[in-house]
């Protein structure tokens, strides 16, 4: 008898337009999650966030449930994982994903499934969809944010009743309370989610990423700080628009092929300081973040700078502190609305001279980087330093553009 082929439990499908659909594929168990499924879901979100061809992510479940929570027949395996392991945490990966995430909720979204739904930016529900929190029923404390996110969306009194009693939120109630964006016929859920995704993709993709960021980050602040955040970001956006070719009178010459405007993964940039020589110091404890790339020697080996999407034309970075990489990170800044000046020297950046670069015949003359799309890019080692000003673009993340 021929053995059955293994079933892929987290299925990722991409279309040419830029929509990626992630399907929880365990319908016979109502898409309950095992530890390998949780890890696979987190990995899928990370890959899609790094894929420049993907503009919007849709998450759904196969069959008559979106996700019925964790699989209690494998509960020991599920709960033995380190709750601080952010790499394997799908909810943290969803929260950190720059791309909009649409949840297509077919049927039940229970406990962990409810928390995955709450990590989405937009929710589409079928008429039979139900959202249920069973933490109190089974004596398990939430770890993916349900106790804090739900009250902020539907109101604290409603959230208390839902979580303390275990009552189900129907699709009709969810729409009335502002939990979901649209309720459609059960067979139209994924179709509607893709329609919303296509509407998003018709807009400027860079602006979509920034707009999602400012909405999500601003929601964590009081109104005064959130409005200040918006003003800081718009100043950076205008500066970047001024240096892009074909917009608002370009003043920067078109770069040589060596400077390809692609996302990069850099390991080291020095001298990120305020004009008076001080380092941004963190003040508030918050959720752990992704593993740091390196430690800043200017701050007793504890300050961490993480950089991505870097090019001659700008990028993003994060500053924070951590005694050890595996410990919970500290974030939030005493001077979180002051620009930071710095200069980026290629000679100060560690580069990886891979075998593929040697085959290019130019490895001695260029710094070689592997970008998030898996492409090898070259930058001359002796190029001029790139002077940048770092504008705070959220409570934790910064963006920078060249000083003209």
Asked whether the whole model's pTM tops 0.75, one would answer no
Query: In sequence order, what DSSP letters do the residues of 287-320 get, joined into one string?
Result: ---SPPS-EEGGGTTTEEEEEEEEETTEEEEEEE
For the cut 70, the answer to whether the pLDDT of residue 1 exceeds it is no
CA distance 345 to 391: 19
Beta strands in 112-227 (DSSP E): 122-126, 130-132, 169-170, 182-184
pLDDT score recorded for residue 382:
54
Q: Is the pLDDT of residue 124 over 50?
A: yes
User: Side-chain half-sphere of 387: how many Cα atoms within 13 Å?
Assistant: 2
**How many CB atoms sit inside 10 A of residue 201's CB?**
15
252, pLDDT greater than 50:
no
Q: What is the mean pLDDT of residues 353-358?
A: 47
pLDDT at position 76 is 61
| 346 vs 135 pLDDT, higher one | 135
Residue predicted with more confidence, 243 or 377: 377
Q: What is the mean pLDDT of the chain?
A: 67
Q: Is the pLDDT at 63 greater than 90, yes or no?
A: yes
Mean pLDDT (whole number) for 19-41: 93
**Residue 234's pLDDT band (boundaries 50, 70, 90)?**
low
Judging by DSSP bridges, how do beta strands 366-370 and 376-380 pair with one another?
Answer: antiparallel
* pLDDT above 80 (res 396): no
Higher per-residue pLDDT: 84 or 212:
212
- CB proximity list for 11: less than 8 A, separation 6 or greater: 22, 23, 25, 62
Tell which wins on pLDDT, 284 or 76. 76
Instruction: Give yes or no for residue 108 having a pLDDT over 70.
Output: yes
Within the chain, all domains assigned CATH 3.90.226.10 are found at: 10-202
Lowest mean pLDDT among 179-193, 276-290, 350-364: 276-290
Residue 362 has pLDDT above 90, yes or no: no
CATH topology (fold) of 10-202: 2-enoyl-CoA Hydratase; Chain A, domain 1 (3.90.226)
């Amino acid at each position: 008898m021929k053995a059955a082929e293994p079933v892929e439990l987290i299925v990722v499908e991409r279309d040419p337009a830029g929509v990626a659909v992630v399907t929880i594929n365990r319908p016979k168990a109502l898409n309950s999650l095992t530890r390998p499924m949780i890890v696979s879901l987190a990995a899928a979100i990370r890959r899609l966030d790094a894929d420049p061809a993907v503009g919007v992510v849709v998450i759904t479940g196969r069959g008559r449930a979106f996700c019925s929570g964790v699989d209690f027949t494998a509960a020991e395996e599920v709960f033995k994982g380190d709750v601080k392991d952010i790499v394997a945490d799908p909810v943290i990966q969803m929260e950190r994903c720059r791309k909009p995430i649409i949840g297509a909720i077919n049927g039940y979204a229970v406990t962990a499934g409810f928390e995955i739904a709450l990590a989405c930016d937009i929710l589409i529900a079928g008429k039979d969809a139900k959202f249920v929190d069973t933490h109190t029923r089974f004596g398990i404390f939430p770890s993916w944010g349900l106790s804090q996110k739900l009250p902020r969306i539907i109101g604290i009194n409603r959230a208390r009743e839902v979580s303390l009693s275990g009552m189900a939120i129907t699709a009709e109630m969810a729409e009335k309370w502002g939990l979901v964006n649209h309720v459609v016929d059960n067979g139209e859920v994924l179709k509607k989610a893709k329609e919303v995704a296509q509407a998003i993709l018709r807009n400027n993709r860079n602006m979509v990423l920034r707009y999602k960021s400012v909405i999500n980050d601003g929601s964590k602040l009081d109104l005064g700080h959130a409005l200040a955040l918006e003003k800081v970001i718009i100043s950076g956006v205008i500066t970047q628009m001024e240096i892009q070719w074909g917009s608002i009178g370009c003043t920067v010459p078109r770069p040589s092929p060596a400077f390809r405007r692609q996302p990069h993964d850099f390991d080291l940039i020095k001298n990120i300081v305020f004009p008076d020589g001080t380092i941004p110091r963190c003040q508030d404890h918050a959720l752990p973040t992704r593993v740091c790339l390196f430690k800043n020697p200017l701050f007793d080996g504890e300050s961490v700078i993480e950089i991505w999407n870097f090019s001659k034309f700008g990028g993003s970075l994060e500053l924070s502190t951590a005694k050890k990489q595996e410990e919970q990170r500290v974030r939030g800044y005493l001077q979180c609305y002051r620009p930071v000046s710095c200069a980026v020297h290629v000679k100060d950046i560690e580069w990886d001279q891979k075998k593929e670069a040697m085959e290019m015949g130019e490895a001695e003359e260029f710094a070689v980087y592997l970008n998030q799309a898996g492409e090898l890019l070259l930058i001359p080692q002796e190029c001029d330093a790139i002077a940048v000003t770092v504008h705070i673009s959220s409570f934790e993340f910064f963006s920078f553009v060249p000083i003209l």
